[in-house]
Amino acid sequence: MNVLILEDESRSAERLAGLLAQCDPTIRVLAQLPSVAEGLAWFAEPGRGPGQPGYPDLLLLDIHLEDGTGFQLVEQAGLTLPIIFTTAFDAYTLQAFKTNSVDYLLKPIDPDELAAALAKFRARHLAPAPDLMAVLRQLGQLGQLPVPEPLAPAPAYKQRFLVSSGPKLRSLETADVAYFFFADKATWLTPRRGPHADVEFSLDKLAELLDPARFFRVNRRFLVTREAIHTIHAFSGGKLKLDLLPPPREEVFVSGDRVPPFKEWLGK
C-alpha cells in the first residue's frame, strides 16, 4: 500500500511514518511533504496519475501546512483519493468528512486510532472485487444462471408532520426539519425556520420512521440531521460536542459509544 504524508512539522512526519511501519511493515511511504506548493508539484510529476505505480493509495494530510491548508491542496490538485486527516485542530471535522475522508485523527496521533483508521480504509477501498469469470465457470453455462429475485421496494420514510402553532395546525415537510429533541416529558421538532413544535412520536419511534441517511440519534435526547450540524468539537472522554443550527436550549454531545457510527454516518 502506497501512502503520501503531508505534514509541515518534520518531527511529526517522522513519527507518523514510524507509526505506519508499526501498524503495517508493508506500507510504503512515497514522500513526506510540508506544503501545498510541494504537494502540487509532487502530484504534477509524470507517473503520478491515478492508477499508476507512483500514485498513493492513501493520503495522510495535516490541515495546516506551511503555505495554506490541506483542503486547498485537495481542491487545486483535484484529488479524489481517500484521506486520513491528522491535525491538532478540531474545528474542521465536518469539512473533512465532506472531503474524501476516511477518518479524522487529532494530534498527538494515538497508535490504536491510526491502526483503526487504516483498517477502515482497507475495508472500504482495498476489498477484493469478485472474480466474475470464476463465478460463471462454476455455473457452467450462462443459461444456468438463476433468475434474480425482484428487488424489495425501498422503505417508505415519513415525509411530513402535522404540528400545532397556537390554535392553528400546519403540515411541515420532513426536509424542513433540523432536529428532534426530548425535553419536559415531550418530543419536540425544531424546523430550520420557525418555532419548536411538539410531536406525538418518541425518539425511538422517529428513528424507525425517518431516513437514517439523513437523521442520526447522537444521544438519548437528540436526533439530528447532517444539515443542522454547524461545527464539531472533540471533547474529553472521547465525546464530540455539536454546534447545531438553529441553536438548541442545551449543549449537545455525541455519546462516546455513538462516535464511531456517527463518523461513519458523516462520511457516507
The pTM of this model reads: 0.57
**Architecture in CATH of 2-125:** 3-Layer(aba) Sandwich (3.40)
SS (H, E, C) the chain: CEEEEECCCHHHHHHHHHHHHHHCCCCEEEEEECCHHHHHHHHHCCCCCCCCCCCCCEEEECCEECCEEHHHHHHHHCCCCCEEEEECCCCCHHHHHCCCEEEEEECCCCHHHHHHHHHHHHHHHCCCCCCHHHHHHHHCCHHHCCCCCCCCCCCCCCCEEEEEECCEEEEEEHHHEEEEEEECCEEEEEECCCCCEEECCCHHHHHHHCCCCCEEECCCCEEEEHHHEEEEEECHHHCEEEEECCCCCCCEEECHHHHHHHHHHHHC
What does the mean pLDDT of the chain come to?
Answer: 86
Residue type, 118: L
**Per-residue pLDDT for 132 more than 70?**
no
CA 110 to chain centre: 19
Residues in the chain: 268
For residue 130, pLDDT beyond 80: no
**Rounded CA separation 73/82 (Å):** 14
Over residues 229-245, the pLDDT tens digits come to 999 998 777 789 999 99
| Mean pLDDT confidence for 200-224 | 94
Same fold, 2-125 and 160-267: no
CATH code reported for the domain at 160-267 = 2.40.50.1020
Tell me the domain boundaries of the chain.
2-125, 160-267
Residue 96 has pLDDT above 60, yes or no: yes
The overall longest dimension of the chain from CA atoms, in Å, is 70
Q: How far apart are CA 73 and CA 41, in angstroms?
A: 10
Query: What gap in Å lies between CA 96 and CA 82, rounded to an integer?
Result: 11
Question: What value does the mean pLDDT take over residues 63-72?
Answer: 92
Residue 124's pLDDT is 81
Q: Does 6 or 267 have the greater pLDDT score?
A: 6
